[in-house]
């Protein structure tokens, strides 16, 4: 069993940064993909805000807001410039205003593991930031990526200067920028990009100082594979994610890459994978559901990058799983808006059932069946669901069919 020290979950004070996490009723939309910068994105999203709100999403994760050397936003340079390939600062602020009006929180993608320099410094590298806001020198860059700072406290993001978070002046400037995003620009939630690149203690410090309502980190490393494919037991993989959450002082959730890796194999006729040796869900969701953000794909794993895509013919089985289960589900833009109205409407229906049955991040779960062609579970004692092509329905007259589709069905009491 993975260990965590569950101090926040028993608290009821709703006035601090832990309140959203404790409530556990979030449903997130990742509101962009790898190609979005080509499509006047802030205007596009502005037109979709009413539908995003009506569909039941509480938070929409937006692309990195700052000026970047690469149009997708992941090679940031001038952090305080909000004119990006996604649109102008004016269009961003207009979008954030509309989201606030419709009560959908805006999540900023925080890319602070690395920063592209403007001028050459020590060793002839572009490791100085002259002429832009936060004009750092080489001491802001880790020694392992060509700077005069200390060694990195995490993994290197190769090819660009990595930020040295051990430097007090760097942390002070980052906190100032995060507070500005939070209090002046109007973002309410944070997503920490490439969180393996620097120690989680700094994420803890940044969240504590900027006070986002909700935070999630990207701790993505490889699942455990053997010569025949994915290992059944992924405990060491989920434990690494849990250790990161713990090191943030439990202030941040994390994307449940373990559940993604297992679920996308399970839907291929290996549903036995969805129950661990203790009878629990096999991902982070099974050990620390209030901090597990479950998802099928994102701009890296899916979209045009497709580094690790969920099997496209099984998308609805995947959503039937994460939208009925504990954890904090996150829906990908492409699936919701680009794969046709049927998938959009099926996802909306599942979100509606989740809300009506008051399923939340800590809802109880009993796995009833987990074999090759069938998975069934009761969640929160008021929702029952099945996946797979085997014939199955819950026993007892109290269950009514709520929604169903290809290879999935959901019942409620």
The catalytic residues are 193, 218
Instruction: Give the residue among 254, 272, 250 at the shortest CA–CA distance from 263.
Output: 272
* Angle in degrees, 0-180, between the axes of helices 315-322 and 341-356, rounded to the nearest 10: 20
C-alpha 235/C-alpha 255 separation (Å) is 15
Q: Given the DSSP bridges, would you call strands 189-192 and 229-230 parallel, antiparallel or unpaired?
A: unpaired
Are 377 and 388 in contact, with CB atoms under 8 Å apart? no
Residue 92 burial by Cβ neighbours in a 10 Å radius (0-12, 13-18, 19+): buried
Structural tokens at position 357: 């049955």
Distance from C-alpha of 67 to C-alpha of 62, rounded to nearest angstrom: 14
Q: Give the C-alpha separation, 267 to 373, whole Å.
A: 9
CA torsion sign for 302, 303, 307, 312 is: positive
DSSP code for 92: H
End-to-end CA distance of the chain: 31
């Amino acid at each position: 069993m993975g260990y965590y020290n569950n101090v926040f979950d028993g608290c009821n004070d709703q006035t601090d940064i832990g309140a959203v996490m404790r409530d556990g009723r979030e449903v997130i939309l990742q509101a962009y993909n790898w190609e979005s910068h080509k499509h006047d994105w802030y205007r596009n999203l502005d037109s979709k805000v009413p539908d995003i709100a009506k569909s039941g999403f509480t938070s929409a994760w937006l692309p990195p807001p700052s000026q970047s050397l690469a149009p997708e936003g992941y090679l940031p340079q001038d952090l305080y410039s909000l004119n990006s390939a996604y649109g102008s600062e004016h269009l961003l602020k207009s979008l954030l205003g509309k989201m606030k009006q419709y009560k959908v929180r805006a999540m900023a993608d925080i890319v602070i593991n690395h920063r592209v320099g403007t001028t050459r410094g020590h060793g002839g590298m572009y490791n100085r930031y002259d002429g832009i806001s936060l004009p750092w020198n080489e001491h802001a860059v880790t020694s392992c990526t060509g700077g005069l700072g200390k060694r990195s406290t995490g993994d290197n993001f190769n090819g660009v200067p990595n930020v040295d978070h051990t430097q007090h002046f760097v942390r002070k400037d980052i906190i100032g920028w995060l507070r500005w995003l939070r209090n002046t620009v109007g973002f309410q939630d944070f997503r920490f990009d490439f969180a393996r690149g620097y120690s989680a203690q700094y994420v803890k410090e940044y969240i504590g100082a900027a006070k986002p309502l909700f935070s999630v980190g990207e701790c993505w490393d490889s699942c455990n594979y053997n010569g025949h494919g994915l290992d059944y037991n992924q405990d060491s993989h989920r434990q690494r994610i849990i250790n990161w959450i713990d090191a943030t002082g439990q202030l941040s959730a994390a994307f449940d890459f373990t559940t993604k890796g297992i679920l996308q194999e399970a839907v291929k006729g290996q549903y036995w994978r969805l129950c661990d040796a203790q009878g629990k869900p096999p991902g982070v969701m099974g050990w620390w559901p209030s901090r597990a953000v479950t998802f099928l794909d994102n701009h890296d794993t899916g979209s045009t990058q497709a580094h690790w895509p969920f099997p496209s013919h099984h998308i609805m089985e995947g959503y039937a799983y994460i939208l009925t289960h504990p954890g904090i589900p996150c829906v990908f833009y492409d699936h919701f808006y680009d794969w046709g109205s049927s998938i959009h409407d099926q996802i909306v229906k599942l979100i509606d059932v989740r809300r009506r049955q008051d399923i939340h991040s800590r809802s109880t779960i009993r796995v009833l069946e987990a074999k090759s062609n069938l998975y069934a579970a009761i969640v929160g004692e008021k929702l029952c669901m099945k996946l797979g092509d085997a014939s199955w329905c819950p026993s007892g007259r109290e269950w009514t069919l709520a929604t169903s589709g290809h290879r999935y069905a959901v019942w409620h009491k």
